[in-house]
Structure 1
Amino acid sequence: MSEESTELELDDAFNILSNSRRRYIIYYLHTRGESATIEELASQIAAWENDIPVDDLDDTARRRVYVSLYQTHLPKLDDFGIAVYDRDEGTVELTEKAEEIVRYLPVERRDTPAFTRYYVALAGAAVLALLGVALGIPPFTVVPGALVAAVFAVALVALVAYQYVLTNRSADDNLLELENLD
């Protein structure tokens, strides 16, 4: 790639994406939204490759990934202008040019419900119901306030759990798609 070129050539993009570790680097930095250390990257990528939590990694797995990132993958991303790799500081950060690569990865947010609306609607319904109990407005005159509060508390917990499952499923689907690009 020439240094005068500001756009990434398609062959270069495919070259960058041809390796799962480079895809993982771009995915991790993009979803994180800020720079990371090589140690953080190596730990997370080794955990993904071994399908275990970062805390369960042994030094050998972490070191193997670290060496390949340090010697091969990070310099390549830096050479193509996708990331800024500071060897002295041991940090990596995506550049604006990375957006040209990210569009090929399954990291875009999927259409998920606007949960803010659900939370506002639930809170509004809870306030109205509790006002109905406090003011003795039928049909709330026969329902204890504690029962009304309990029903809305359970509804809130269910909504939070639903949002959590939906959000984590999207992240897991993205990782599976990254692995299957090989």
Structure 2
Amino acid sequence: MKVFTEQLNDSMNRTELSQDQVFELLKNMRRRYAVHYLRRENRAVDFSDVTDHVAAWEYNTSPTDLLSKQRKRVYISLYQTHIPALADAGIIDYNPETGKIRPTNRIRVFDDYLNVFTKPTLPWDRYYLGLALGSGLLFVSIWIRFYPVAMLSWYVVILGVMAAYGMVAAIHYWYTQSTIPETPPELHATDG
């Protein structure tokens, strides 16, 4: 029975989350705060770091100024409910023995729902399209022996195009990570 349950969880983790599942996962503020922290860090972190940041945001203080009672209250609910729910959905990998939590790529499903990015997003699709069109034009120019492009070797052109795509992808990744604010956007929401 245990093997069947593990296989069922594994298959659930590989499928896309429905909108209802996303809303169910995001209905609790502590879970949203945990998702925000993990999305912002985008690396393996200690359970205690998640607890400290979620509690600090909840109690509107800094992690160093938290009272042990506040930290404990948040720790218990994260440990018993929220972190296991995120792990069961495949949003994070959680090792209870080491206390390490690592977000998976599936955590990005929440970006649109949580308004993660506060800076205006750049039109990356146009950058990639321009790079593809420019690469195609460069290849055609070499093929028809258009001077002065025909002086370049295929090897140099292919390496240059690959380097250009790599640089744009790296800049895109850096920009995306740098647009995630330090605190959850809902802490900055105003009613007016």
Partner of 1:4: 11
Query: Do 2:57 and 2:183's aligned partners in 1 also have CA atoms closer than 8 Å?
Result: no
Equivalent positions of 1:1-182 (< 5 A) are 3-5=10-12, 6-111=15-120, 171=182, 174-176=185-187
Structure 2: runs of 5+ lacking an equivalent: 1-7, 123-177
1:54 Cα deviation after fit: 1.2
Contact persistence 2:33–2:184 (CA under 8 A): no
The 1:60–1:102 alpha-carbon spacing in structure 2 relative to 1, beyond 3 Å, is same
Q: 2:52·2:63 contact (CA, 8 Å) conserved in 1?
A: yes
Q: Gaps (5+ residues) in structure 1?
A: 114-166
Which AA in structure 2 matches 1:110?
K
**For this pair of structures, how many residues does the alignment match?**
126
CA distance in 1, matches of 2:103, 2:82: 13
Distance 1:89 1:25, change over 3 A: same
C-alpha change, 1:179 and 1:92, in structure 2 (3 Å) is farther
Aligned partners of 2:92 and 2:189: how far apart in 1? 19
Contact 1:83 1:92 in 2 (8 A): yes
When normalised by structure 1's length, the TM-score is 0.61
The 3-state SS of whatever aligns with 1:52 is coil
1:21 aligned counterpart, secondary structure? helix
Deviation at 1:37? 1.0
Matching residue's letter, 2:73 = R
Structure number, greater radius of gyration? 1
Tell me by how many angstroms 1:75 deviates. 0.4
Correspondence for 2:175: none
TM-fit CA distance, 1:3:
4.4
Which one-letter code corresponds to 1:77 in the other structure? L
Q: Please, what TM-score do these two structures have when normalized by structure 2?
A: 0.58
Please give the root-mean-square deviation of Cα atoms over the aligned residues, in Å: 2.9
